[in-house]
Structure 1
Amino acid sequence: MRKDIDLAEFQEALQKRLEAIESGQADKKDDTAPLELDQARTGRLSRMDAMQQKAMSRAASRLAEQERRRIYKALERMKDGDYGYCVNCDEEIAEGRLRFDPSVATCIECARKAEK
């Protein structure tokens, strides 16, 4: 377990972000409902706009779900005493990188390798 970082601070940041994601997803339940395409009620451009908005909403929901999973994994690593260490090479993750994204699981070197 790392002693050089304030785990409580990172845990609080993760919990706040998780709450924000979960409340945002609850607010967007209507965005996942099937789109009604009634030509008598809506013009062609309005339907296309609605379809585009729905696609954008679904993409945002997928990204939020991915972030939620990363946060849960980070909280699990905290419980296990592995938080702040790279899941690939087991080196310490820089504190600045954790401050930018407390759910990050890899050090900068492993992240660079994964991009290639």
Structure 2
Amino acid sequence: MGEPTPEELKQRFLPRLREELASLRKASGETAEHRKPVELDQQSVGRLSRMDAMQQQAMAAAQEARRHARIRALEAALRRLDRDEFGWCDACGEFIGEKRLDLDPTTVRCRDCAK
């Protein structure tokens, strides 16, 4: 079995990449409120409640950082699809492999080069 053509890769992965990207962007907008700084108001929020709120805010910020990293990876994969470079190892130039791309379509290295 030969390597898929760039058009076959586009048909297979473009919808998946776009769907995940849209989902992440939507989640980012929906969780913006959780990442806002915690206000200091000793009258309405006790010290432990404020510490809990600060911890929640920090976790939301960390999740957003991971989300943005994934968004950048998805956008890069879409650019590679547009340039017909998707699926090819950026180190050795060999085809990455469909199973590896199925696991993570943003990967840029074949199994051997990733080691």
> Quick check: TM above 0.5?
yes
Deviation at 1:110, TM superposition (A): 2.0
Superposed, 1:6-21 pairs within 5 Å as 6-21=9-24
Structure 2 Cα separation of the partners of residues 37 and 86 of structure 1: 50
Q: 1:41 aligns with which of 23, 44, 52?
A: 44
Match of 1:77 in 2: 80
Shift of 1:6: 3.8
* TM-score normalised to structure 1 length: 0.88
CA shift at 1:7, angstroms?
2.5
Matched residues, percent identical?
35
- The aligned amino acid for 2:84 is G
Question: 3-state SS of the aligned residue for 1:81?
Answer: coil
- The 8 Å contact of residues 85 and 91 in structure 1, kept in 2 or not, is answered as yes
Identify the residue that residue 62 of structure 1 maps to in structure 2.
65
Q: Confirm or deny that 1:93 pairs with 2:82.
A: no
Which segments of structure 1 move beyond 3 Å, counting only runs of 4 or more? none
Residue ranges of structure 1 left out of the alignment (5+ in a row): none
- TM-score, normalised on structure 2? 0.89
**Within 2, Cα distance between the matches of 1:107 and 1:43?**
53
Report the RMSD for the aligned CA atoms in angstroms: 1.7
